[in-house]
C-alpha cells in the first residue's frame, strides 16, 4: 500500500487515483494521524499531498520528522514538498513570490530518478506562495522555475523526493510519468494492482462476513448498486435478494433494463416493486424542489421497508435477513472522515435515503474503490456496458427534471425527449466525452411557436450536457452544432407540446448540474 497523506484541499483523492492508475494500491490518511500509526500500516511508500496552508502559518499541519527517517520512500508534492524541505534543514522563504497556474519547469538533471526520459522544459501546475531556496543536505536539486530556484529535489540514498508543483493535475504534462518514476524507480514498486484481485478478495470477505445468513440490496439502476449487488451475488448467490423500486420517475426502458439485462448477467433474485401510482399521488400538486426530494425519499423508504418485510416473511428457511448491501465508494468514505474506519458513512447513497435507525449490518464491497475502478470490476463480473458505463442519474429521477408539478403526462413527454437526446448522443459517439446530460422540461413555461401551419404555445426542453471529473465542479460541454441541431429537430418534431429546445451554457458553480 502507498499512503497518501492528506493536507487538505481535495488534492489527496486525485493523487490516490493517479497512484492507482499506475497500478499500485493506495489509501488516503489524514495528516493528523500520528506517524507511528502510519508506519504501522507498513506502507511501501508515502506521498505527501499539497494543501492550502503556508508552512509558516500558525497551526499549519505538519508531520513528525520521524516519517522521513523510517526508511520508507517519500514523495512530497507542493505543500508536502515544503514540509519535507523545512523538516530536513532546507530553506523555504516566505518571499511573497507567488506562482499560480501553468509554469515552465526547467529540468537540470534530465537523467534523475524522477525526470528520466521527460523533456528538459515541461509545463507544470503551480500553486504556492512560499519558495524553497536551498535543498536539505544530501539532496540534489533537479529542477527549477523562473521564480523558484529549487522546484524539485531528490535523495536516492534515503529515497526521499519532492516537487514544488502538482504532478497529479492534467496541466502538468509529464506529471503521471514523474509520479510513476517515483513509484517504480524511487520506491521499487511493481505495477501489479488490478481490479481482478479486488473481486477475489471481496468475495472471500463477503462470505466470511455473511456466513449462512441473508442479505438484501436496493438496486437503483445506477452503476454502484449494480456492481455491489453483482459482487455480493457472486459471493453468496441465492442468499441475496435485490429490491428495485420503480417509482415511475425512471427514464425510458430503464426498469426493463434492470429487470432483464441485470438479471440475465448475474442470475440475481430480484423483486421489482411497481410503485408509480403511489409516488405520483404523493407528488400531486407539488412544485417545490426540496419538497419533491423529501417526498420521493420518504416514499422510497416506505416502499423499501415493505418489500423488505415481504422478503423476510417469504424466506424459505429460518436464516435471518441480517445484512444490507450498499454501493458506498471510496470518495464517500474519505469525505465522511478520512477513511480511518471511524467514519460515519453517509447512508443516502444509491437507495435515495435509507432511515438512520435501520437495523442492518452493512456490506459495502466497493468502499475502497473509485468510480472508474467500480466500472472495471463490473465489466469483469460480466455486467453489460449499458449498466457499467451508465452516466450518473439522480435517485429522485425525472421528478427533479420537471420544473413544476410532476404528472404522468409530463413524465411521458420528458421521457420521450430524453430518449431522443440520449440516442443521438450515443449515435454521435459522445457518451464518454460527457459526464451526463440532464434533459429538463420547463413545465411552467410556455412560449409561442409555429409548427405545421399553425401557432403553438408549448413548453421548452433544456439540454444540460456537462463535463466533469467528480460532479463537484462541472463545465458545459461544447457539443458539435450538428448533433445539437439533430436533437433539437427531432425533439420538436417528435415530442408533443414541445416547440423549443434550449441549451444550458452555465458551469458549476454557479449552476448545479441538475435544475432542482
- Closest CB to ligand XMP among residues 74, 474: 474
Place of cell 534515503: 158
Residue of 394, 458, 460, 465 that binds ligand XMP (CB under 6 A): 394
Does 397 participate in binding ligand XMP (rule CB under 6 A)? no
Q: Which segment (66-74, 105-113, 265-273, 388-396) binds ligand XMP by CB under 6 A?
A: 388-396
Query: C-alpha distances in angstroms, 372 versus 219, 329, 471?
Result: 19, 11, 14
Beta carbons of 200 and 31 less than 8 angstroms apart: no
Please give the sequence-ordered ranges of beta strands (E in DSSP) within 292-334, or none if there are none.
321-325
Catalytic annotation, pick one of 78, 132, 217, 437: 78
Instruction: Calculate the alpha carbon distances from 405 to 69, 271, 310, 442 in Å.
Output: 64, 29, 32, 10
392 sits near ligand XMP (criterion: CB under 6 A):
yes
Q: How far is the CB of 463 from ligand XMP (least distance, A)?
A: 14
226 is in an annotated binding site: yes
Q: How far is the CB of 436 from ligand XMP (least distance, A)?
A: 6
Distances (CA, A) of 147 to 123, 131, 139: 14, 8, 20
Q: For the CB of residue 395, give the shortest distance to ligand XMP in the complex, in Å.
A: 3
Q: How far is the CB of 291 from ligand XMP (least distance, A)?
A: 13
Question: Cα separation of 344 and 335, whole Å?
Answer: 10
Q: Count residues contacting ligand XMP (CB under 6 A)? A: 10
Q: Nearer Cβ to ligand XMP, position 120 or 512?
A: 512
Out of 259, 380, 431, 514, the only residue in the binding site for ligand XMP (CB under 6 A) is 514
**Contact pick of 396, 399, 458, 465 for ligand XMP (by CB under 6 A):** 396
Q: Does residue 411 touch ligand XMP according to CB under 6 A? A: no
Catalytic-residue membership of 217: no
Nearer to ligand XMP, 76 or 394 (CB): 394
The verdict on 295 binding ligand XMP (CB under 6 A) reads: no
Site residues for ligand XMP, window 413-432 (CB under 6 A)?
A: none
224 is in an annotated binding site: yes
**196, containing H or E segment:** helix 195-210
Rank residues 90 and 395 by Cβ distance to ligand XMP and give the closer one.
395
Strand partners, 324: 216, 362
Backbone phi and psi for residue 398, each to the nearest 5 degrees, phi listed first: -70, -10
163 assigned binding-site residue: no
Could you tell me the smallest distance in angstroms from the CB atom of residue 371 to ligand XMP?
Answer: 11
User: Edge to edge, what strands does the sheet with 214-219 contain?
Assistant: 269-274, 240-246, 214-219, 321-325, 361-363
- Do the beta carbons of residue 491 and residue 439 sit within 8 Å? no
From the list 27, 99, 154, 168, the catalytic residue is: 168
222 is in an annotated binding site: yes
If binding is defined by CB under 6 A, does position 395 make contact with ligand XMP? yes
HSE toward the beta carbon, residue 96, CA cutoff 13 A: 0
Whole-number Å distance between alpha carbons of 264 and 150:
58
Catalytic residue from among 128, 166, 174, 247: 166
CA atoms within 13 A on the CB side of 419: 13
Q: Is 483 annotated as a binding residue?
A: no
Q: Is 223 annotated as a binding residue?
A: yes
At closest approach, how far in Å is the CB of 457 from ligand XMP?
A: 30
C-alpha cell at 400: 427533479
**Nearest Cα to 252, choosing from 54, 416, 483?**
416
Shortest reach from residue 350's CB to ligand XMP, in Å: 7
**Among 411, 385, 381, 413, which Cα is nearest to 399's?**
411
513 binds ligand XMP (CB under 6 A): yes
Decide: is 471 part of the binding site for ligand XMP (CB under 6 A): yes
Nearer to ligand XMP, 293 or 410 (CB): 293
Choose among 112, 128, 121, 133: nearest CA to 178.
112
| Residue 166: active-site member | yes
Cβ proximity of 258 and 393 under 8 Å: no
Residues 429-448, one symbol each (x = binds ligand XMP by CB under 6 A, - = not), give -------x------------
Window contacting ligand XMP (CB under 6 A); options: 32-40, 316-324, 390-398, 444-452: 390-398
What is the layout of strands, in order, in the sheet containing 140-144? 26-30, 2-6, 45-48, 74-77, 160-163, 152-155, 140-144, 99-107, 121-128
CB of 397 to ligand XMP, least distance (A): 9
Counts of helices then strands in the chain (DSSP H, E): 15, 23
Query: Residues forming the annotated binding site?
Result: 220-226
Q: Which residues are the active-site residues?
A: 78, 166, 168
Q: Which residues of this chain interact with ligand XMP, rule CB under 6 A?
A: 392, 394-396, 436, 471, 508, 512-514
Query: Residues forming the annotated binding site for ATP?
Result: 220-226
Amino acid at each position: 500500500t502507498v499512503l497518501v497523506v492528506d493536507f487538505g484541499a481535495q488534492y489527496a483523492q486525485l493523487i490516490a487515483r493517479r497512484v492507482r492508475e499506475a497500478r499500485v494500491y493506495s489509501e488516503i490518511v489524514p495528516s493528523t494521524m500520528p506517524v507511528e500509526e502510519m508506519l504501522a500500516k507498513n506502507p511501501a511508500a508515502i506521498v505527501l499531498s499539497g494543501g492550502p496552508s503556508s508552512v509558516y502559518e500558525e497551526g499549519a499541519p505538519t508531520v513528525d520528522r520521524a516519517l522521513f527517517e523510517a526508511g520508507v520512500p517519500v514523495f512530497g508534492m507542493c505543500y508536502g514538498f515544503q514540509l519535507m524541505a523545512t523538516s530536513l534543514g532546507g530553506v523555504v522563504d516566505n518571499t511573497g513570490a507567488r506562482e499560480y497556474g501553468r509554469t515552465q519547469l526547467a529540468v537540470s538533471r534530465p537523467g534523475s530518478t524522477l525526470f528520466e526520459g521527460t523533456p528538459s522544459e515541461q509545463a507544470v501546475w503551480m500553486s504556492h506562495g512560499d519558495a524553497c531556496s536551498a535543498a536539505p543536505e544530501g539532496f540534489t536539486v533537479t529542477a527549477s522555475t523562473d521564480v523558484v530556484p529549487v522546484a524539485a529535489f531528490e535523495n536516492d540514498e534515503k529515497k526521499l523526493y519532492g516537487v514544488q508543483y502538482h504532478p497529479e493535475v492534467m496541466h502538468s504534462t509529464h506529471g503521471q510519468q514523474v509520479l510513476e518514476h517515483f513509484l517504480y524507480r524511487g520506491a521499487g514498486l511493481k505495477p501489479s494492482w488490478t481490479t481482478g484481485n479486488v473481486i477475489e478478495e471481496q468475495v472471500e470477505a463477503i462470505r466470511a462476513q455473511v456466513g449462512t445468513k441473508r442479505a438484501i440490496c436496493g438496486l437503483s439502476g445506477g452503476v454502484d448498486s449494480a456492481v455491489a449487488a453483482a459482487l455480493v451475488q457472486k459471493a453468496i448467490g441465492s442468499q441475496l435478494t435485490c429490491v428495485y423500486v420503480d417509482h415511475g420517475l425512471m427514464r425510458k426502458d430503464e426498469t426493463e433494463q434492470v429487470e432483464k439485462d441485470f438479471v440475465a448477467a448475474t442470475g440475481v433474485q430480484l423483486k421489482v416493486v411497481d410503485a408509480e401510482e403511489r409516488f405520483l399521488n404523493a407528488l400531486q400538486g407539488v412544485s417545490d424542489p426540496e419538497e419533491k426530494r423529501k417526498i420521493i425519499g420518504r416514499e422510497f423508504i416506505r416502499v423499501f421497508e415493505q418489500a423488505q418485510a415481504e422478503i423476510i416473511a417469504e424466506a424459505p428457511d429460518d436464516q435471518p435477513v441480517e445484512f444490507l448491501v450498499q454501493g458506498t465508494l471510496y470518495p464517500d468514505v474519505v469525505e465522511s472522515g478520512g477513511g480511518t474506519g471511524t467514519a460515519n458513512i453517509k447512508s443516502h447513497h444509491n437507495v435515495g435515503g435509507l432511515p438512520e435507525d435501520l437495523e442492518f449490518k452493512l456490506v459495502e464491497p466497493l468502499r475502497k474503490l473509485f468510480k472508474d475502478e467500480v466500472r472495471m470490476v463490473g465489466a469483469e463480473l460480466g455486467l453489460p456496458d449499458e449498466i457499467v458505463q451508465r452516466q450518473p442519474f439522480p435517485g429522485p429521477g425525472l421528478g427533479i427534471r420537471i420544473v413544476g408539478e410532476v404528472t404522468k403526462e409530463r413524465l411521458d413527454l420528458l421521457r420521450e425527449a430524453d430518449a431522443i437526446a440520449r440516442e443521438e448522443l450515443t449515435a454521435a459517439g459522445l457518451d464518454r466525452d460527457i459526464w451526463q446530460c440532464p434533459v429538463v422540461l420547463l413545465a411552467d413555461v410556455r412560449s409561442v411557436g409555429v409548427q405545421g401551419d399553425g401557432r403553438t404555445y408549448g413548453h421548452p426542453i433544456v439540454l444540460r450536457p456537462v463535463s466533469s471529473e467528480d460532479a463537484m465542479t462541472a463545465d458545459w460541454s461544447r457539443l458539435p452544432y450538428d448533433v445539437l441541431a439533430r436533437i433539437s429537430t427531432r425533439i420538436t418534431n417528435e415530442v408533443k407540446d414541445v416547440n423549443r429546445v434550449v441549451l444550458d451554457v452555465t458551469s458549476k458553480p454557479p449552476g448545479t448540474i441538475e435544475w432542482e
